[in-house]
Amino acid sequence: MSANIINAILVTSLATFMSRFLGAISSEGIKENSKIFRWFNCLAYATLAALIARTIIFPAGILLDTSYLCRFVVVTFSIFIFFITRKNYVYPTVFSALSLAILNNFF
Amino acid sequence: MIYKKFFFKGFRSILSHDSPAIALGCCFIAIGALLKNLGFNIQESIFSTMLTYALPGSLVMAESLLVGASLLNIFLAVWFVNARLYPMTVSLFPLMMHKSQPKWKYYFSCHFIAVSAWLIMKSNYKKIPKNFRIDYWIGIGSATWSVAVLGTFIGFYISEYLNKDMLIGLAILNPIYFLCMMVGAAKTIQITLSVLLGIILGPVFYYFSPEWSILLGGVVGGTIAYLIGELNVS
C-alpha cells in the first residue's frame, strides 16, 4: 500500500507540474499587451469559473453528501453577503461554512 | 538571487484582512483528514501536498486510490483536472518576465501556480516594478504553499476530532472564497463574460464529458468572451 501511495503521489505531481512547466516555457515569447495574452487570460478565468461551478454543482468527496438545494441556498446567500459587505471575502466564506454545516442537518 | 524586500512583501500579502490563507488552510485541513482516512501516514500526506499543491488534483488522486485505479489512470485523471494550470501560467508569467531575471526563477516558481496565489498576484502585480515581480511572486507562492503544508499537517492530526458537519463546512470554504474572488475580479467585459460563461458552460459540458468539462467550458467560454470583448473594443 505504501509503495502504491508513493507512486500515486509521484504520478500526481508529475501530471500537475507538466501543465505548470509547459505554461512557463510558453510564456517566454508572449507580450503582456498581445492578443494571445488577452485570450489566455480569458481562458484562465473561464476555466477557473468552470472548475468552481463544477465543484459546487457536481462535487467530489464529502460535498456529495449535501443536497443541491443546500448548496444553491448557501452559494446565493454568500454572493449576496459578498456584495452587501462591499466585496469583503471573509464574511461570505465564514457564512458558507457555518450555514452549510447547519443546513445539511435539515435538508 | 532572490530580492528579499519584494520576496517578504509577497510573503506578507497573505496576512491581509481578506487574505485567502484561512480558506486555503481550512481546505488543506480537510485534505489532511481525508488522506489520513485513506491510509496515508503523515510523511506521505505532507509529501503529497508539497509536491502536488493543487486541491482538485489531490482529491482526484485520493478518489482514484480508493477505487484501485492504475497509475496511468491516475496520471490521466489528474492531468485533465489540472490542465487549467497551463492557461493560468500563460496568463500570469508574461506579466513577470524580465530580461534581468534568471530563467531558473520562472521554472522553479511555476510550482506555486494555484488559484489562491494566482488571484493574489493578479490583483497586486501593478504595484510592483516589473523587474522584481518574480521575487514578489515567489514570496506569495512560498507563503500559500506553506499554509497548504501546515493545513495538511493540522488536518492529519485533528481528523479524529472532526465530525462530518465540520468537514462539510471546511469543504465549501474554498469554492465560495474563489467564487467571490472571481466575481470581485470581473471588472472588464472580457473577464466578466469569461467568468459567467465558465460558470454556465462547465456544468453543461459535464453532461457530455465529465473528464473534459472544465477544459471545454474554459476554452469555449473564454474564447467567446475574448471575441466579444475584442469586437466591443474595436
Report domain extents, chain B: 4-174, 186-234
Q: Is the ipTM of this complex over 0.95?
A: no
- d(Cα B12, Cα A87) in Å, to the nearest integer? 21
**Confidence check: pLDDT of B171 > 90:** no
Instruction: Say if the Cβ atoms of A47 and B87 lie within 8 Å.
Output: yes
| Residue spans per domain, chain A | 1-30, 32-59, 66-107
Instruction: Name the pLDDT band for A24 (thresholds 50, 70, 90).
Output: very high
Cα Rg, chain A, nearest whole Å: 19
Q: Which residues contact B93 (CB under 8 A, 6 or more apart)?
A: A23, A24, A27, B106, B110
Instruction: Say if the Cβ atoms of A15 and B79 lie within 8 Å.
Output: yes
Single-letter amino acid code for the residue at B7: F
**Confidence check: pLDDT of A1 > 60:** no
Instruction: Say if the Cβ atoms of B65 and A8 lie within 8 Å.
Output: yes
Contact list in B for residue A42 (CB cut-off 8 A) is 190-191, 193-194, 222-223, 225-226, 229
The gap from C-alpha B231 to its chain's centroid, in whole angstroms, comes to: 31
Contact list in B for residue A88 (CB cut-off 8 A) is 18
Single-letter amino acid code for the residue at B159: S
Alpha-helical regions (H) of B18-102 = 21-37, 42-52, 55-66, 71-82, 85-90
Cell reading at B139: 514570496
Instruction: Name the pLDDT band for A30 (thresholds 50, 70, 90).
Output: confident
**Which residue in chain B has the smallest CA separation from A53?**
B199
Secondary structure (3-state) at B188: coil
Residue B141, min C-alpha distance to chain A (Å): 13
Instruction: Name the pLDDT band for B35 (thresholds 50, 70, 90).
Output: confident
**Confidence check: pLDDT of B193 > 90:** yes
pLDDT number for residue B61? 86
Interface of B with A in 63-122 (CB under 8 A): 63-65, 71, 74-76, 78-79, 82-95, 97, 106-107, 110-111, 113, 115, 118
